Amino acid sequence: MWQHRLRVERVLPPDHGLRLARCLGGLGACQPEDVSGAWANLHFLGAIRHPKHPGHNEYLEWIGEGFDPLAFDLDGINEIPRSPR
């Protein structure tokens, strides 16, 4: 189970057009779905950052060279899941 720490920086007046809370910003990409846990994610990030790491090529082949661990997808975070009709 993951735990997240949120910091409320300010409370804005209500916007009656919004149905849900919105994320205003963040830092970094989510870990890939198949990386199991915080320690495994640190290992994964170290491997893709350092070309001499023994797992570097294997991890890049798995995740793809376009993966950016520093990217933050604000639109994706705020996307409202729609229930099937």
Residue 62 included in any domain: yes
Residue 17 included in any domain: no
Residue 61 included in any domain: yes
Residue 84 included in any domain: no
Domain count, the chain: 1
Q: Residue 53 sits in which domain range?
A: 38-78
Exposure of 44 by Cβ count < 10 A (0-12 exposed, 13-18 middle, 19+ buried)?
A: buried
Residue 49 included in any domain: yes
> Does the pTM exceed 0.75?
no
Dihedral, CA atoms, 30, 35, 38, 39, nearest 10 degrees?
-140
pLDDT digits (tens, 9 = 90+) for 27-85: 888 888 888 888 888 999 999 999 999 999 999 999 987 889 889 989 988 886 655 54
Residue 10 included in any domain: no
